[in-house]
Amino acid sequence: MEEEAVVEQEQKETKSMYKYCPVCGAEVLKSSRVCTECGSSIVPIDETKKNESPLFGWISIILALVGGIGGLVMGIVGSFIMKRYINKRRCRIAIGISFVWIFIYLMIIIITAGN
């Protein structure tokens, strides 16, 4: 009886050390970030989103409000590299604000060139 309990406990401990690749189904260590069989990433999406700072989106909005081209650049870059929806949204808002400034700058140039 005791031997069966020990074997069961060892099986549970061994099983808890592994997880499965979502692409190929191979058994990999829980601490692994890449599957050893197919090479695909096995890091949960939520874990990568947790590490993302909301400051990037806010900084791009602030730069766009100031009228600098930095807001446009940060907005474009951020909309591609940010993973969380709220950060992507802030970057897209910064792009929109920057385009408004570009329109205003062009209007000023056209009006002053006509005089």
* One domain, residues 55 and 108: yes
Residue ranges of E strands in the chain: 18-20, 27-29
Mean pLDDT of the chain: 76
Residue 81 sits in the same domain as residue 31:
no
Structural domain includes residue 30: yes
Are residue 105 and residue 59 in the same domain, yes or no? yes
Residues 99 and 64 reside in one and the same domain: yes
Mind listing the pLDDT tens digit for each residue in 8-30? Answer: 655 555 555 667 777 777 787 77
Number of domains in the chain: 2
Tens digit of each residue's pLDDT (9 = 90 or more) over 18-69? 677 777 777 877 777 788 888 877 766 555 555 667 787 888 888 888 877 8
Angstrom distance (rounded) from CA 32 to CA 49: 18
Residue 91: domain span? 51-114
**Do 36 and 55 lie in a common domain?**
no
Residue 21 main-chain phi, psi, to 5 deg: -70, 130
